[in-house]
Structure 1
Amino acid sequence: MTGLFIVFEGGDGVGKSTHARRLAEHLTALGETVVHTREPGGTDLGLEVRQIVLHHRGHVDPRAEALLYAADRAHHSATVVRPALARGEVVLQDRYIDSSVAYQGSGRDLGASEIRELSEWATGGLQPDLVLLLDVDPAEARARMTSERGELDRLESEARDFHDRVRAQFLEQAAAHPDRYLVLDATREHEVVAAEIKARVDALLGERA
């Protein structure tokens, strides 16, 4: 039996980590072996990359930023994701290729198709079975983050137009592949959103069985 690769996507402050944890608990209760990971930061190398791209105090060239994400993704998919899928496990991942397409491709204006091509080369074409896109207006998401923890990282603190481009690119990708994406209005109560996620994932598990 092959595993399932499920990715949580969306802008900053939309609740990806919270819903990934909820889904991990649900799947574990069903008897599934779950690998809950993230990009960057799912490996020791990824933690170092995360520190550079999100918390480095100086300027990071946009192309260098994109290449750092791609390098982390290549290592992470080869050492964490693919082995788990080969063992038949469920991989729940916070961010994947779509984030680079949205943030570096559109947010940084490096070109969505160019960044997707780079990321797909880095991962050997590994695609998720399901992408859960949590959608919130960037202004509301920023207000959430500011009230919860105050200080923002390099990407979170970018200007509103940057985050508007990021959101538009996420929605564009979802519209182009509706069979593989579930777009969720994440301004609703957590329980409502979580129930929709569970229903879609349970159906996917049924198809696998």
Structure 2
Amino acid sequence: MLIVMEGIDGSGKSTVARLVARELAPYRAVFVDKKDIGPADPGTEARAGRLRELIWSSPEKQGDTYGAAHWILLIASWYAGLARLRPDLTDPDTLAVTDGWYYRNIAKTLVRERLDAHWVESLFAPVPESALTVLLDVAPEVAWARRHDFKDTEIGRWDGFTGPPRESYRAYQSVVREELLRMAKDRDWLVLTPDPDDPPERTAAAVVAAVRALRRTP
């Protein structure tokens, strides 16, 4: 069973996802790094390494020279492979908790270029949907106050957002947030809006309660 934390960059997905996996450990829960294909033969790992480098290790300063369609196709290829190589994602006896899934990639693609939304979403047809997706609806101003080490892609430089980093980040993440809220409504996600002063443990507790309620549902 796949449990996903979603949200803008800096919303606290990783922290909350790890806390949730720890709290749900008695239910055979694991934290899943979506960039990790798990145990694989050398050839498969080599192919995964090349794809991983294309997606996440390319020099940011060169920008998105090939365009959003090329980028989302690479992302879709990665997740299609992950779906085949990580059986724990669909194991009904395992709670696989991850800090984000492909949903935010769709949101960012639709912000970057005016591509057909149905076509973009269709690319991920081979990828399992989550049993529960939790959108951590954190305002960009709150996320920025937590950390300032955002990458160019997170500040919106690839998407035409210019100016001081803080203002660029706020403007870019605001439109990404709007796309995520639209997806949350369409896909019936659980939306949590943590108070800026709340510790992540409180947010994690709300997610854990939702997971336990889901498991009790026939």
Q: Per-residue CA shift, 1:173-194, capped at 9, x if unaligned?
A: 111233xx11011344123212
The two structures have a TM-score, normalised by structure 1, of 0.80
Q: Per-residue CA shift, 1:74-115, capped at 9, x if unaligned?
A: 1111111x4542372111122223212211123443343221
Query: What's the % identity of the aligned pairs?
Result: 26
Change (3 A) 1:129 1:49: farther
Q: Separation in 2 of the partners of 1:50 and 1:106?
A: 18
1:15 maps to 12
Conservation of the 8 A alpha-carbon contact between 1:66 and 1:104: yes
Question: The residue matched to 2:153 in structure 1 has which SS?
Answer: coil
The two structures have a TM-score, normalised by structure 2, of 0.77
- After superposing the two structures, state which structure 1 stretch, 152-161 or 165-174, moved more: 152-161
Given candidates 139, 142, 157, the residue that maps to 2:141 is 139
Conservation of the 8 A alpha-carbon contact between 2:6 and 2:134: yes
Change (3 A) 1:202 1:183: same
Higher-Rg structure is 2
Given candidates 92, 104, 113, the residue that maps to 2:109 is 104
Q: Separation in 1 of the partners of 2:113 and 2:152?
A: 13
For 2:99, give the aligned amino acid. D
2:36 maps to 42
Q: Separation in 1 of the partners of 2:33 and 2:136?
A: 17
Q: Which runs of 5+ in 2 are unaligned?
A: 38-44, 162-169
Given candidates 64, 74, 84, the residue that maps to 2:70 is 64
Conservation of the 8 A alpha-carbon contact between 1:107 and 1:162: no
Q: Per-residue CA shift, 1:29-67, capped at 9, x if unaligned?
A: x241425222xx2235264244236x5331222222111
Aligned residues: 191
Conservation of the 8 A alpha-carbon contact between 1:5 and 1:128: yes
1:130 maps to 132
Question: The residue matched to 1:34 in structure 2 has which SS?
Answer: strand
Q: Per-residue CA shift, 1:148-171, capped at 9, x if unaligned?
A: xx3x22321213433222111111
Q: Equivalent residues in 2 for 1:82-101 (5 A)?
A: 82-86=87-91, 88-101=93-106
Q: Separation in 2 of the partners of 1:84 and 1:191?
A: 24
Q: Separation in 2 of the partners of 1:114 and 1:23?
A: 33
Q: Separation in 2 of the partners of 1:183 and 1:68?
A: 28
Change (3 A) 1:11 1:109: farther
For 1:102, give the aligned amino acid. A
Question: The residue matched to 1:71 in structure 2 has which SS?
Answer: helix
CA RMSD of aligned residues (A): 2.3
Deviation at 1:27, TM superposition (A): 1.2
Deviation at 1:72, TM superposition (A): 0.9
1:24 maps to 21
Conservation of the 8 A alpha-carbon contact between 1:8 and 1:16: yes
